Amino acid sequence: MSLPTPLTSSPAPAGPAAPRTEPTQAELLAFVRRTAAARDLIASLPLDPEGRTWVRLEGPGGSEAWLIGWPPGTGTGWHDHAESVGAFLTASGELKENSLAARLPADGWQTLELSEGVDRERRLTTGQGRAFGRHHVHEVMNESRTAHAVSVHAYYPPLPQIRRYSRTGQVLRLESVERPQDWQ
């Protein structure tokens, strides 16, 4: 099976070049929504019964975008996308997102005790998504026992790093920092 062709935008009309602007969270969400509606692209993602699969896509305004396949029972673990804003949308199946409704310090800590009431849970079925800001800490998972899920993600600026966390009760611990060369 061949991999999907990365998405490209149509060329802009000729004329003076407009200053480049960063895509907003709303624009990233609109992009993932349009991409998820490309049923042939979604269906072309190779799905592996054992682990997540992904294909990098061209996102709007220089953003980084991904099409991700989630086998039953898989997830990301707790992480953030550092200085990037982002959006994701479930293209097929259902994903669950657990997130923290608290702004964490960007650097300089190893362990934090979280306040009560910071936990949020969302179930995102086909066609549902969300945008998020910088330093958004969350975990995403496919809790189905039988069905794959597929999602589309976009981040701007392109991911400079991903910080991975472990969580025990109300204690969040920074475990590792990954850079692009670690996952590309």
164 vs 111: CA distance, rounded Å: 12
Give all domains of the chain, ordered by start, each with its CATH number.
25-183 (2.60.120.10)
Residue 16 confidence (pLDDT): 57
| Helix (H) / strand (E) containing 38 | none
Q: What is the mean pLDDT of the chain?
A: 89
Checking if the pLDDT of 19 tops 90, the result is no
> Is the predicted pLDDT of residue 44 greater than 80, yes or no?
yes
Task: Judge whether 102 and 60 are in contact, CB under 8 Å.
Answer: no
- Quick: pLDDT tens for 67-104: 999 999 999 999 999 899 999 999 999 999 999 998 77
Strand (E) positions, the chain? 53-58, 64-70, 78-80, 85-92, 94-100, 111-113, 119-125, 129-132, 138-141, 149-156, 162-168, 171-178
Provide the percentage of residues in the chain whose pLDDT is more than 90: 77
pLDDT of residue 180: 83
Closest CA to 23 of 91, 88, 85: 85
Q: Is the model's pLDDT at 12 over the cut of 50?
A: no
Query: Stretch 107-124: mean pLDDT, rounded?
Result: 92
Give dist(CA 110, CA 52) in Å, integer.
Answer: 28
Q: pLDDT band for 141, please (50, 70, 90 cuts).
A: very high
Whole-model pTM: value is 0.85
Residues 45-54: pLDDT tens digits?
999 999 999 9
